[in-house]
A and B are shown apart, each in its own frame.
Chain A
Amino acid sequence: MGALLEARSLTKLYGVVIGVNDITLDLEPGVIGLLGPNGAGKSTFIKLITGQLRPSEGQLTVLGERPWANMRLFKRIGLCPEQDSFYDQLSALEFVTSLAKISGLGSGAKERAEQALERVGATEFMHRPIGTYSKGMRQRTKIAQSIVHDPDLLILDEPLTGTDPVCRREIMDLVASLGEEGTSILVASHVLHEVQSMTDEFVLIHGGRILASGKVHEIRSLMNEFPHRITIKCDDTRKLAQALISELPLEGVSIDAEQGEIIVMTRDPGQFYARLPRIALQAGIHVRELTSADDNLEAVFSYLISVH
């Protein structure tokens, strides 16, 4: 399979309001998180990808084809929208079967709908009217309709909203297994940690612009203007802090005696991680825990937004 998505100077204007602004982006197949706060342009971007909007300027290809009103491409795309686009009188099986038929599955639609609903764990309630469903059941039904026609690209818009922990876990597992089977998945969300638990490949969007794309640590490593914050828990914080300052070029060190931890600021985390074991060994200090608060998405996102 070639590139999943290629955007060149992609812009969408709603009158004088900019939906997405001059996006240039290449995405390879896989599971990708599309992250951004509310109003960032995620929905517009998704509508452009799913061919529901025509770009005002620039070019976009998805799975090698231009998406605007492209029926051939729509057969290969599955969309699970954020909103509950349901008919409450119908059962999940009827709903998913109907949408499978609209996707062109014909006489095999019902069987496929049953399989899709089984896959999302909805078999138990699929004969009940949707109007009686909990939020989690509705989410499962929406995902089932988006995978029923076996798409190459699945777009999940806020798939975990309103779900309980068990349902979240199951949806995350489903995303992982679909990804392993070769389905490319774009997970749009404004909740960073949710997406981080599904993939480490991201596109960060804000104000209609792409802030960054790639793996979190790759993005972070490119942000040299912001020192990395590394937290070390050890048995003698003061002694280790002295050793680190004397051995490494650090931006700053602070000690939290109560927590028994040192917070180190460095612009070269690679060198720091490589040399820390020897420094600790020479000082005779037992390091209990080493974490980088900056390698999480939230921190990266905060940095990026502050830059823009």
Chain B
Amino acid sequence: MPIAERGYRHWEGKRTGALSRCFAITRFEVSIAYQSSRLLRRFLFIAWMPILYFCPLFLAIGYVADPSNDLRSGAMLTEIAGELFPREVIEQLRENPEIYLPAIWSVVFYLFFAWTQSLLSMIVVAIAGPPLIARDHKSKAFLVYFSKPIQAWQYLLGKLATVVFFVLSMTLIPALLLYSISIALSPDGTTLTATLPIIFKASLASLITAVPIGLVVLMISSLTKDRRIATFAWLVLWIFGEISFRVLTATSALSANARPPAWASLLSLRELSMRAVSGIFQVRSSIETVFQGLGESGDRLSRKMLRLAEDMGDPAALERPRSVQQIADLAGMGITPELATLALIVLSIGCGFVILQRARKAVRI
């Protein structure tokens, strides 16, 4: 019987590629964040809760969109759909579902992002993001990282992918689940073909939310060694920006013939992201599609709504159905989605540059 060689053996395997190496950082960081924060685990669970609200909404939209269904017998579902859309819209939807259904789905998915998931994402980023670089700064882990075959940009990409992972867990994954359930609840297969682009839009919207937010939180994290200071700074930036934006908007709404300044959106990172996301979901054109199809009365209604959204000083704005008002407000107010996207790109590049500079400087200390 031969004696087995059990001693130390030299590595003779093939090395993995650059992307695999930097995503090793992501796996590592996700594991740390998940293990070390009970709060994070709870929020990842809470992220699924809004689905419970939106699923009945899609079920209701699917029900009222089917002309064979009697609205009176399904009064409850009709009422749910009516919460979001006026009766005229529902009637048009029943007559031409192939035109109106994709537009309505786009608007509702946008609301899913804007109302709940973006808010939850900001909270999760506040938990998972601030320690990512601050901790390496404090422990001088840069020395270990950068003695491995990994460059500063790969390190940054690995860290960014950690934040992106958590944001996608709050946005894309629930959105895809919501989409799957909604398709399952739809009356026929035509809904799937008509609404398929929403998967692409949801993916893009998730990324355009995750990447700038991730880079901003990483930049904050790179400026300090103390994760608590980084967390505090992130919360201040987010909450202060949000409050400033809301105050400016409310002030403009109260004063006659005044509009909120376009730059107000720049104050709030969440608002800026949602402006870009509204462009991806084509919220404005979807609203126009829905309301302009209503004929003369509908045209008046849609124009009025969009005008009111742009002109918050009109007292009639307060008389509109609450949900539609919110949609129109979000669609017509602040800077354009294109400008918002541009602002996010510029912000991302700036943050990325600062992080790389900080990482290089940290190695020298």
Give residues in A with beta carbon < 8 Å to B. 14, 47, 50-53, 69, 71-72, 74-75, 77-79, 81, 83-87, 89-90, 94, 98-99, 101-106, 108, 112, 115, 119, 145, 149-150, 155, 181
Given A47-B364, A86-B141, 17 more A-B residue pairs with CB atoms under 8 Å apart are: A47-B363, A71-B18, A71-B151, A72-B149, A74-B149, A81-B143, A81-B147, A85-B139, A85-B143, A90-B32, A99-B144, A101-B24, A101-B27, A102-B28, A103-B148, A106-B14, A149-B11
Report whether A85 and B11 are in contact in the complex, using a CB–CB cutoff of 8 Å: no
Please tell me if the beta carbons of B143 and A89 are within 8 angstroms of each other in the complex. Answer: no
- What are the residues of chain A within 8 A of B10 when measuring CB–CB? 150
* B36 interface hit (Cβ, 8 Å): yes
Residues of A near B210 (CB, < 8 A) are none
Among the listed B14, B36, B143, which residue makes an inter-chain contact with A79, where contact means beta carbons less than 8 Å apart? B143
CA–CA, A5 and B132, complex, Å: 35
Quick one: given A52-B363, A85-B140, are A119 and B148 in contact (CB under 8 Å)? no
In the complex, the answer to whether A89 meets B32 with C-beta atoms within 8 Å is yes
Task: Kindly state the separation between the CA atoms of A85 and B147 in the bound complex, as whole angstroms.
Answer: 12
Nearest residue, chain B, Cβ from A71: B149
Q: By the criterion CB–CB under 8 Å, are B8 and A83 in contact?
A: no
Which residue from chain A places its CB closest to the CB of B15 in the assembled complex?
A104
B216 at the interface (CB under 8 A from A): no
Q: B189 on the interface (CB 8 Å rule)?
A: no
Any chain A CB within 8 A of the CB of B145? yes
Query: Residue B96 at the A interface, CB < 8 A?
Result: no
Smallest CB–CB gap between B291 and chain A, Å? Answer: 53
B16 at the interface (CB under 8 A from A): yes
Contacts of A47 in B (CB 8 A): 143, 363-364
Residues from chain A with Cβ under 8 Å of B32 in the complex:
87, 89-90
Contact A81/B144 with A47-B363, A102-B21, A150-B10 known, Cβ cut-off 8 Å: yes
Is A75 a contact of B147 with CB atoms below 8 Å?
no
Contacts of B363 in A (CB 8 A): 47, 52-53
Given A71-B151, A101-B21, A103-B149: A119 and B8 within 8 A (CB)?
yes
On whether the beta carbons of A115 and B151 are closer than 8 Å, the reply is no
Query: Which A residue sits closest to B22, measured CB to CB?
Result: A102
Instruction: Please name all residues of chain B whose beta carbon is closer than 8 Å to the beta carbon of A75 when the two chains form the complex.
Output: 15, 149
The reply to whether A53 and B364 contact each other, CB–CB distance below 8 Å, is yes
Least Cβ–Cβ distance between B25 and chain A, in angstroms: 6
B144 and A101 contact, CB distance less than 8 A: no
Residues of B within 8 A of A102 (CB): 21-22, 24-25, 28, 145, 148-150
A89 adjacent to B35 (CB under 8 Å) = yes
Q: List 17 A-B contacts (CB under 8 A).
A: A47-B143, A50-B147, A51-B147, A52-B143, A69-B151, A74-B149, A79-B144, A90-B35, A94-B31, A101-B16, A102-B145, A104-B15, A104-B16, A105-B13, A106-B13, A106-B15, A115-B9
Asked if B255 is at the interface (CB within 8 A of a chain A CB), the reply is no
Interface of B, secondary structure class, is helix
Q: For window 22-51 of chain B, which residues contact chain A by CB distance below 8 Å?
A: 22, 24-25, 27-28, 31-32, 35-36
Q: A145 CA to B145 CA in the complex, in Å? A: 11
The reply to whether A83 and B145 contact each other, CB–CB distance below 8 Å, is: no
Candidate in A72, A75, A79, A102 with the most chain B CB atoms within 10 angstroms: A102
Q: Is the CB of A98 within 8 A of B24?
A: yes
Q: How far is the CB of B143 from chain A (nearest CB, A)?
A: 5
* In the bound complex, CA of A89 to CA of B31 (Å): 9
Measured between C-beta atoms, what is the minimum distance from A77 to chain B in Å? Answer: 6
Q: Across the interface, do B20 and A106 meet the contact criterion of CB distance under 8 Å? A: yes
A87 pairs with B135, CB closer than 8 A:
yes
Asked if residues A79 and B13 are in contact (CB atoms below 8 Å), the reply is no
Expressed in whole angstroms, the Cα–Cα distance for A75 and B149 within the complex equals 6
Bound: A50/B147 CA distance, A: 6
Identify the closest chain A residue to B16 (Cβ). A106
Q: Which residues of B contact A98 (CB under 8 A)?
A: 24-25, 27-28
**CB neighbours of A74 from chain B (8 A):** 147-150
Residue of B nearest to A101 (CB): B24
- B126-168 to A contact mask, C-beta < 8 Å, 1/0: 0000000001100111011111111100000000000000000
Most chain A CB within a 10 A radius of its CB, from B27, B146, B149: B149
Complexed CA–CA distance, A51 and B149 (Å): 10
Check B11–A84 contact: CB distance below 8 A: no
Closest to A129 in B: B35
B309 to chain A, nearest CB (A): 48
**In the complex, A102→B17 CA distance in Å?**
10
A14 and B146 CA atoms in complex are apart in Å by 19
A103 to B146, CA, bound (A): 10
- Separation of A84 and B35 alpha carbons in the complex (Å): 20
Q: Which residues of A contact B36 (CB under 8 A)?
A: 89
Contact of B146 among A52, A89, A145 (CB under 8 A): A52
Q: Least Cβ distance of B40 to chain A in Å?
A: 12
Give the docked Cα–Cα distance between A47 and B362 (Å): 12
Residues of B within 8 A of A87 (CB): 28, 32, 135, 139, 141
CA distance A86 to B149 in the complex (A): 19
- Smallest CB separation, A171 vs chain B (Å): 15
In the complex, chain A residues whose CB is within 8 Å of the CB of B150: 71, 74, 102
Contacts of B147 in A (CB 8 A): 50-52, 74, 77-79, 81, 155
